[in-house]
Amino acid sequence: MHWPYAFKRGDNIFPQNPDGSLQYDFTDYKDTWKAMEKLVENGLTKAIGLSNFNKRQIDDIISISTIKPAVLQVECHPYLAQNELIAHCRAKGMVITGYSPLGSPDRSWRKAEEPVLLEEPSILEIAKKYGRSEAQILLRWQVQRRVVTIPKSVTPVPNPPEPAGV
């Protein structure tokens, strides 16, 4: 389940009010979860999970579920480490998947004065020390934390460093 709330139904994926705010619809996420459990029961999927839920919302789902969420997917990187949420999910037996592990520097709502994770001096220093790219350092940080990571980039790396011995 991608969000803990529903948008107004229709052709527009992100429907907006005249003032630009999003138009929501009332569909209780617990009802959506129950419908997703039926997908598992009917053999249409093997596992179900959550995305962009907080601890309280996760606990709401667990309290009514017969099938525990397998995973929680959230934005996760050193500027948004999600340590408490990760610990909470692990205590519940859930896997964490982190999206935007490189900080999403190309996101349209980024303010010019916001720092860019791939330009963070400490990341640059570690990358230089180990002969790796900044992205490799950030991905390794997630792997070492046991966070399943799903990087995305629209920018090719100009001259990636050669991998060192295994």
pTM listed for this prediction: 0.82
What's the CA gap between 104 and 116, in Å, rounded? 8
**Position 123: which residue type?**
I
Phi, psi dihedrals of residue 156, rounded to the nearest 5°: -70, 150
| pLDDT tens, residue by residue, 105-157 | 666 667 778 888 999 999 999 999 999 999 999 999 999 999 999 887 666 76
For 121, the token pair is 């001096």
What's the CA gap between 67 and 71, in Å, rounded? 12
Strand, coil or helix: 98: strand
| pLDDT tens, residue by residue, 51-92 | 999 999 999 999 999 999 999 999 999 999 999 999 999 999
Check residues 22 and 162 and name the one with the higher pLDDT: 22
Strand partners, 16: 22
